[in-house]
Amino acid sequence: MLRDISNSRKSYSKNSLIDKELPKDPFFLFDNWFKEVSSKKSKSEINAMTLSTIGLSGYPNGRIVLLKYYSPDGFVFFTNYNSNKAISIDQNNKVSISFFWEDFERQVIIKGVATKTTDDFSTKYFNSRPKGSKLGALVSENQSSIIKSKDYIIKKFNQLSKEYLNKEILRPNNWGGYIIKPVQYEFWQGGKNRLHDRIRYQLIDNLWKIDRLSP
């Protein structure tokens, strides 16, 4: 039996995207939006983004990861290089990331090419993490693999906690970052009567082409 949720909707009316105010470089629009969202108190993680890859099965896979750094050069996240997402990127490094900031009625979709960050960069970030997070990276040595039970990883965590009580935790070789270099941005701003603003930037011959899309 189908569950009817067809009446679940909301009206959007907080902001709009005005063509003459759009920057030539999409990074600056993203940066402005991110700073604006950051300035407001929110219970959600505003740096949470959906990373979509094409899996080995040919199906798209999406999962939430956390953005840790961003600049005009790209968007950086960290993961286990043995994970499904990393294996997918090794096979096809064309990926998509998307942000949804509900309080501002905004979404950003970014398509780009993912490459590994340098070892030094990954190590610098790893060393800044809380000790528990570092231990977690050791526990989940083969992320996405099948495990016996949750007790198994809890016992392993407790064991490593004792082992590294007074020892430095080094970054595992199978853990590090990716940087996604954008080739396309799409900015979505909710509008009245479903007349949403959709602005697409495409990188063509090192220049950003700007188009307004039908909602």
Q: What does the chain come to in residues?
A: 215
Instruction: Round to whole Å and give the CA distance between 13 and 191.
Output: 5
| Catalytic, out of 3, 106, 171, 194 | 194
Q: Phi/psi of residue 146, each to 5°?
A: -75, 135
Indicate the burial class of 97 (C-beta count within 10 angstroms; 0-12, 13-18, 19 or more).
Answer: buried
Q: Phi/psi of residue 60, each to 5°?
A: -75, 145
3 labelled catalytic: no
Residues classed as catalytic = 194
